[in-house]
Amino acid sequence: MAGLMTAAIRGDEAAYAEFLRLAAALVRGLARRKLANDRVVGPEDIVQEVLLAIHTKRHTWRSHEPILPWVFTITRYKIVDVYRRNGKRVFLDVDDFEAQLAAPETVEPALPERQVEAALTILSDGQRRVVKSIAIDGRSISETATALDMKETAVRVAFHRGLAAIAARFGRTT
Measure the CA angle with vertex 73, ends 43 and 76; round to 5°: 35
φ/ψ of residue 8, rounded to 5 = -60, -40
Closest distance of CB 60 from other proteins, Å? 4
Q: Within 35-151, where are the H helices?
A: 43-56, 67-106, 113-121, 125-131, 141-148
Stretch of 8-16, 102-110, 119-127, 150-158 contacting other proteins, by CB under 8 A = 8-16
Number of residues engaging other proteins in binding (CB under 8 A): 32
Taking the alpha carbons at both ends of the chain, their separation in whole angstroms is 58
Cα distance between residue 159 and residue 167, in whole Å: 12
Stretch of 33-41, 64-72, 136-144, 154-162 contacting other proteins, by CB under 8 A = 64-72
Told to check if 5 binds other proteins by CB under 8 A, we report no
Chain residues that interact with other proteins, rule: CB under 8 A: 8-9, 11, 13-14, 16-17, 20-21, 24, 44, 47-48, 51-53, 55-57, 59-62, 65-66, 69-70, 73-74, 76-77, 81
